């Protein structure tokens, strides 16, 4: 295998690890906030769920990332390295300030940036981006909010005659399952984004003739995202779990279930949505069942601002990186 391919694989696997380090922690935010699990145990549960996700879902998200964002013939090792350098620049900034971002949108924005830099706007698959990225980006947190709101309201009504202690004890057990379910859906959704780019690159270089994800690629992507989860992301856990709204076990279970259903649905549909979007929307939906002032909308607003900026700024950084590579004749078109 050519050295440039090995370099691209290294960067892609690092991005998958970084995804776990910063983004997969969202999967444990609620179970930590409710005190059902300690952070260490919650991280271990989430890491296991991230890895198990490779066995349960089709590779529709991988197909979207590999063939649906930019013209597939452009997906070379050099292009991917430029895209990820630019995307990681934005990613590190948001992580440093403890602000949730979306690895999904970082990847999409980065691929758009290098596509435009290398071949102009004709390289961009606008229809796929609109149907698989933009529309789900808007609707997924909204649907998670609505689902979590009504799910929590139903649980509250059904639990009126039960003591709070009994309800919390019962839902402490349920939340273990809901947290694991959410981690599984997160693992399959986010690992597939890198899987898709690797597969597209192998097609470009003739290692594959059709788009199918090799088993070792799926294994490596899920393993690296799981390892990333084991190593951290505590700033974002704190933001997600404590600064948006405070939760009880039944609320945590409802939030995780709502977000997991959204992620599972979009994984089957091939939409690379944001785990952060889904869990943030569901946590706010849960908080709104008490009263709308229970949700700390100031923090929610800052998260939304970061989401809005992610695609254009990661595209900008990747565009600049790609142009520098082209000037240095690392990328030649």
Residue 330 lies in a domain: no
Contacts of 155 (CB under 8 A, 6+ apart): 250, 254
Range of the domain at 155: 3-76+96-102+131-295
Rg of the chain taking only CA atoms, in angstroms: 20
Assigned domain for 120 exists: no
| Rounded Cα distance, 230 and 45, in Å | 9
- What are the residues facing 149 on neighbouring strands? none
Q: Which pLDDT score, from 0 to 100, does residue 323 have?
A: 93
228 token code pair: 């990333």
Q: Is residue 68 part of a domain?
A: yes
Dihedral angle over CA of 10, 16, 18, 23, nearest 10: 170
pLDDT confidence of residue 294: 65
List the one residue out of 167, 145, 186 whose CA is nearest residue 295: 145
pLDDT reported for residue 13 = 95
Total domains in the chain come to 1
Residues in CB range of 156: below 8 A, 6 or more apart: 250, 289
**Residue 143 CB neighbour total at 10 angstroms:** 21
Q: Give the pLDDT confidence score for residue 234 in this predicted structure.
A: 59
89 lies in a domain? no
Of 309, 264, 5, nearest to 147 by C-alpha is 264
Instruction: Report the pLDDT value the prediction gives residue 80, as an integer from 0 to 100.
Output: 94
Please report the pLDDT score of residue 290 as a whole number.
Answer: 79
- 0.95 exceeded by pTM: no
| Inside any domain, residue 324 | no
* Sequence-ordered alpha helix ranges (H) in 34-163: 39-52, 60-63, 77-96, 103-119, 126-129, 135-158
Residue whose tokens read 């402490």: 172
Q: Which two tokens stand for residue 265?
A: 């649905």
DSSP letter for each residue of 240-265: IIIIS----HHHHHHHHHHHHHHHHH
pLDDT averaged over 10-residue windows placed end to end, the chain, 333 residues: 89 90 70 77 85 88 92 89 90 73 85 93 90 87 93 88 80 88 90 94 91 94 91 60 66 91 93 85 86 69 73 92 88 64
Residue 242: per-residue pLDDT: 56
Q: Tell me whether residue 84 is in a domain.
A: no
Residue 82: inside a domain, yes or no?
A: no
285 domain residue, yes or no:
yes
The predicted pLDDT at position 170 comes to 85
């Amino acid at each position: 295998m050519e050295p440039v391919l090995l370099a691209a694989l290294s960067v892609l696997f690092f991005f998958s690890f970084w995804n776990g380090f910063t983004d997969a922690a969202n999967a444990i935010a609620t179970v930590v906030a409710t005190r059902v699990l300690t952070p260490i145990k919650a991280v271990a549960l989430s890491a296991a769920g991230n890895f198990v996700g490779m066995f349960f879902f089709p590779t529709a998200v991988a197909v979207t990332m590999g063939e649906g964002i930019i013209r597939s013939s452009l997906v070379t090792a050099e292009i991917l390295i430029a895209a990820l350098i630019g995307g990681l620049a934005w990613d590190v900034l948001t992580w440093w300030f403890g602000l949730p971002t979306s690895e999904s949108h970082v990847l999409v924005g980065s691929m758009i940036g290098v596509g435009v830099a290398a071949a102009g706007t004709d390289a961009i698959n606008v229809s796929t981006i609109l149907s698989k990225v933009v529309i789900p980006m808007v609707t997924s947190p909204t649907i998670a909010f609505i689902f979590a709101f009504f799910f929590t309201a139903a649980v509250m009504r059904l639990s009126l005659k039960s003591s709070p202690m009994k309800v919390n004890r019962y839902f402490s057990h349920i939340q273990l399952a809901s947290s694991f379910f959410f981690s599984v859906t997160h693992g399959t959704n986010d690992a597939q984004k890198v899987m898709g780019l690797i597969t597209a690159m192998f097609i470009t270089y003739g290692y594959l003739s059709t788009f199918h994800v090799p088993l070792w690629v799926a294994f490596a992507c899920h393993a690296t995202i799981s390892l990333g989860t084991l190593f951290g992301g505590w700033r974002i856990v704190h933001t997600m779990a404590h600064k948006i709204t405070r939760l009880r076990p039944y609320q945590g279970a409802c939030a995780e279930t709502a977000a997991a259903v959204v992620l599972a649905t979009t994984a089957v549909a091939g939409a690379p949505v944001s785990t952060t979007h889904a869990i943030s929307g569901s946590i706010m939906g849960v908080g709104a069942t008490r009263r709308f002032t229970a949700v700390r909308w100031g923090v929610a607003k800052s998260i939304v601002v970061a989401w809005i900026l992610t695609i254009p700024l990661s595209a900008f950084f990747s565009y600049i990186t790609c142009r520098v590579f082209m000037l240095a004749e690392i990328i030649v078109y």
